[in-house]
């Protein structure tokens, strides 16, 4: 296994964690910018107020479909060609797409370009986490991915601040940040574990290996399910603030952008707490149990906040954000579950399939909403997703301190 045993390797590892952290910062910025500017951007291009919800969800769905397809594409390429090449390709694609988004004038073009941006965004996180996990020692890699996730999630704060100066400018800034990151990536090094298997005859980046073995498939599916509640909280309960505000008889004007800002700052803090808990207890699973249960409690508090003020809304967003801060631990678990020859495929597809799960979650929520209304539907969806997540955690093996220098074979 690759060990950090010299000052040069230590400096390279620190630089890698720094660059991966900044990469995730840009990733989150670009991923969430539409949720923040959804209302204003759609109104500016001529969408009627009555159509904001359906048009907005449609565009989000296309972006998430792009993430799903891109996750497979970049994950496979990461195991076949290397983690670094994926980073360059994905950053270039989503940077160009964000520049293009600044020029849209109709919802159909908007959706197409967000789909392309989604494809590009799919490669950043998985490749970065794979590099960090394979470079740091097994005792310290949890700290590395914790830093990546914690720093990266502040990209939401940057997106909210920049969006206040205009939604088109916010997309231009996102594209510019990607180009700057591309230049910084030039100084990064390829994973030693990948180099060791590069010339071997073992199957690399074979996505279908995840489906040809029942035990491997179950493990893969469970990794996806444990992350779904997080995206439900952000993608539905917080981002659909105008609709939930009305259902909860909120007092004063609520701002979804500020809600996302508070939530993601809290997610970053929660990510540090969850990561530290897993390191101190030497258990990823225990940390996941604690934070999944906390997330259920936070959603109950939110959905019972009838008549909340704008200030109370922001603090509730922060509370929910902290409680779903297990994203750090979740991506670490996914990276630790599989062998080097398909690790990039897994680490890239799993978080993007979780993001893409917002598509069926949105559809299910809208279907439930028609029968039970916003609040009851909110309870039902969180109950289903949390039950599946808790069961999934119970079925996965503990991976803290696991040696990652091994291969997956049929």
**pLDDT at site 6:** 52
Listed ranges 181-190, 226-235, 396-405; the one with the highest mean pLDDT: 226-235
Q: Which residues pair with 251 in a beta bridge?
A: 309
Contact 215, 410 (CB under 8 A): no
Say if 79 falls within a structural domain: yes
Q: Is the pLDDT of residue 381 over 90?
A: yes
Say if 272 falls within a structural domain: yes
- Report the alpha-carbon distance of residue 233 to residue 166 in Å, rounded: 26
The structural domain count of the chain equals: 1
Say if 2 falls within a structural domain: no
Percent of the chain whose predicted confidence (pLDDT) is above 70: 92
**pLDDT at site 296:** 97
- Joined together, the tokens standing for residue 132 give 């960090």
Query: What CATH number is given to the structural domain containing 367?
Result: 1.20.1250.20
Quick one: average pLDDT of 65-76? 87
What b-and-e string marks burial along 184-215, b requiring 16 or more CB atoms within 10 Å of the CB?
ebeebeebebbeebeeeeebbbbbebbeeeee
Contact 260, 37 (CB under 8 A): no
Say if 201 falls within a structural domain: no
What b-and-e string marks burial along 227-248, b requiring 16 or more CB atoms within 10 Å of the CB?
bbbbbbbbbbbbbbbbebbebb
**Rounded mean pLDDT of the chain?**
84
Say if 250 falls within a structural domain: yes
**pLDDT at site 342:** 83
Segment 326-367, tens digit of pLDDT:
887 888 888 888 887 888 888 888 888 887 788 899 889 999
> Greatest CA separation found in the chain?
64
Among 136-140, 178-182, 197-201, 241-245, the minimum mean pLDDT is found in 197-201
Segment 291-334, tens digit of pLDDT:
999 999 999 999 999 999 888 999 999 999 999 988 878 888 88
Say if 389 falls within a structural domain: yes
Per residue, the 3-state secondary structure of the chain, as one string, reads CCCCCCHHHHHHHHHHHHHHHHHHHHHHHHHHHHHHHHHHHHHHCCCCHHHHHHHHHHHHHHHHHHHHHHHHHHHHHHHHCCHHHHHHHHHHHHHHHHHHHCCCCCHHHHHHHHHHHHHHHCCHHHHHHHHHHHHCCCCCHHHHHHHHHHHHCCHHHHHHHHHCCCHHHHHHHHHHHHHHHHHHHCCCCCCHHHHHHCCCCCCCCCHHHHCCCHHHHHHHHHHHHCCHHHHHHHHHHHCCHHHHHHHCCCECCCCHHHHHHHHHHHHHHHHHHHHHHHHHHCCHHHHHHHHHHHHHHHHHHHHCCCCCEHHHHHHHHHHHHHHCCCHHHHHHHHHHCCCHHHHHHHHHHHHHHHHHCHHHHHHHHHHHHHHHHHHHHHHHHHHHHHHHHHHHHHHCCCCCCCCCCCCCCC
Quick one: average pLDDT of 152-168? 84
41-49: long-range pairs with CB below 8 Å, 24+? 41/110, 41/167, 41/168, 42/107, 42/110, 44/167, 45/104, 45/105, 45/106, 45/107, 45/110, 46/105, 46/106, 47/107
pLDDT band at 7 (very low <50, low <70, confident <90, very high): low
Residues in the chain: 410
Say if 52 falls within a structural domain: yes
- Report the alpha-carbon distance of residue 339 to residue 307 in Å, rounded: 51
**pLDDT at site 279:** 86
Segment 102-133, tens digit of pLDDT:
999 999 999 999 999 999 888 877 777 777 77
Percent of the chain whose predicted confidence (pLDDT) is above 90: 31
Quick one: average pLDDT of 381-407? 90
**pLDDT at site 195:** 60
Contact 79, 344 (CB under 8 A): yes
Q: Is the pLDDT of residue 394 over 90?
A: yes
- Report the alpha-carbon distance of residue 108 to residue 249 in Å, rounded: 33
Segment 185-233, tens digit of pLDDT:
666 666 566 566 666 756 777 888 888 889 899 999 999 999 999 989 9
Say if 64 falls within a structural domain: yes
Contact 346, 220 (CB under 8 A): yes
Q: Is the pLDDT of residue 11 over 70?
A: no
Residue 29's domain spans which residues?
7-186+207-395
Place of tokens 């910062």: 25
Contact 157, 166 (CB under 8 A): no
């Amino acid at each position: 296994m690759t060990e950090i045993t010299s000052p040069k390797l230590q400096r390279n590892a620190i630089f890698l964690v720094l660059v991966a952290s900044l990469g995730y910062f840009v990733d989150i910025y670009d991923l969430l910018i539409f949720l923040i500017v959804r209302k204003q951007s759609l109104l500016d291009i001529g969408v009627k107020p009555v159509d904001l919800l359906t048009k907005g969800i449609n565009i989000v769905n296309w972006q998430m479909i792009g993430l799903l397809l891109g996750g497979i594409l970049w994950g496979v390429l990461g195991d076949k060609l290397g983690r670094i090449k994926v980073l360059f390709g994905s950053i270039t694609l989503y940077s160009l797409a964000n520049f293009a988004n600044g020029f849209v004038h109709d919802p159909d073009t908007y959706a197409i370009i967000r789909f392309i941006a989604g494809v590009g965004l799919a490669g950043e996180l998985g490749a970065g986490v794979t590099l960090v996990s394979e470079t740091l020692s097994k005792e310290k890699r949890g700290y590395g991915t914790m830093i990546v996730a914690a720093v990266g999630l502040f990209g939401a704060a940057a997106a909210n601040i920049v969006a206040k100066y205009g939604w088109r400018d916010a997309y231009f800034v996102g594209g510019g940040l990607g180009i700057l990151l591309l230049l910084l990536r030039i100084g990064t090094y390829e994973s030693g574990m990948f180099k060791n298997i590069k010339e071997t005859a073992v199957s690399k980046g074979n996505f279908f290996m995840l489906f040809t073995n029942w035990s491997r498939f179950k493990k893969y599916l469970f990794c996806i399910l444990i992350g779904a509640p997080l995206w439900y909280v952000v993608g539905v309960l917080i981002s659909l603030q105008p609709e939930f505000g009305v259902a909860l008889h909120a007092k004063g004007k609520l701002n979804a952008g500020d809600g996302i800002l508070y939530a993601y700052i809290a997610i970053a803090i929660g990510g540090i707490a969850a990561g530290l808990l897993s390191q101190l207890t030497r258990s990823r699973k225990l940390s996941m149990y604690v934070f999944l249960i906390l997330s259920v409690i936070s959603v109950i508090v939110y959905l019972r906040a009838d008549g909340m003020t704008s200030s109370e809304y922001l603090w509730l967003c922060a509370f929910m954000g902290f409680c779903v801060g297990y994203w750090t631990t979740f991506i670490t678990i996914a990276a630790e579950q599989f062998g080097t020859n398909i690790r990039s495929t897994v680490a890239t597809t799993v978080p993007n399939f979780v993001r893409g799960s917002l598509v069926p979650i949105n559809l299910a929520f809208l279907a439930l909403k028609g029968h039970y209304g916003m609040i009851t539907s909110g309870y039902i969806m969180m109950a289903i997703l949390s039950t599946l997540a808790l069961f999934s955690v119970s079925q996965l093996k503990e991976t803290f301190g696991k040696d990652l220098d091994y291969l997956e074979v049929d």
